[in-house]
Amino acid sequence: SQQGEEDPQALSIQEGENATMNCSYKTSINNLQWYRQNSGRGLVHLILIRSNEREKHSGRLRVTLDTSKKSSSLLITASRAADTASYFCATSYNTDKLIFGTGTRLQVFP
């Protein structure tokens, strides 16, 4: 079955630094999405990248996808304290069921 695994599990940085989170999965995908979850709250959609795309940008977010390595990365540039949250990748393949990864807990210190 598809399975997303993020690394690192936890990441602590200072405001202004860049944060990079990685996601690996096991099977084919149609697309990969990144979501953010503030502590105990709902999931906020950040960005979707399709399997035929290699890179996508949205504001301070940059997502890459390497289907040959079955991996994706999420880069947050010039991080802010408000970026503190858990970040999850989620994949789907020939179904709209999302398979979520284990998540990376990001802590940004002011």
Task: Write out the residues near other proteins by the rule CB under 8 A.
Answer: 30-31, 33, 35, 40-45, 48, 50, 88, 90, 92-103
Task: Name 42's Cβ contacts closer than 8 Å, sequence gap at least 6.
Answer: none
Closest CA to 31 of 91, 101, 71: 91
Q: Which is nearer to other proteins, 12 or 51 (CB)?
A: 51
26 or 41: CB nearest other proteins: 41
CB of 24 to other proteins, least distance (A): 14
Give the CB-side neighbour count of residue 16, counting CA atoms within 13 A. Answer: 2
Of residues 34 and 79, the one with the C-beta less far from other proteins: 34
Q: How far is the CB of 71 from other proteins (least distance, A)?
A: 18
Nearest CB to other proteins, comparing residues 79 and 100: 100
**Residue 21 near residue 4 (C-beta atoms within 8 A):** no
Q: How far is the CB of 39 from other proteins (least distance, A)?
A: 11
Q: Which residues contact 98 (CB under 8 A, 6 or more apart)?
A: 33, 90, 91, 92
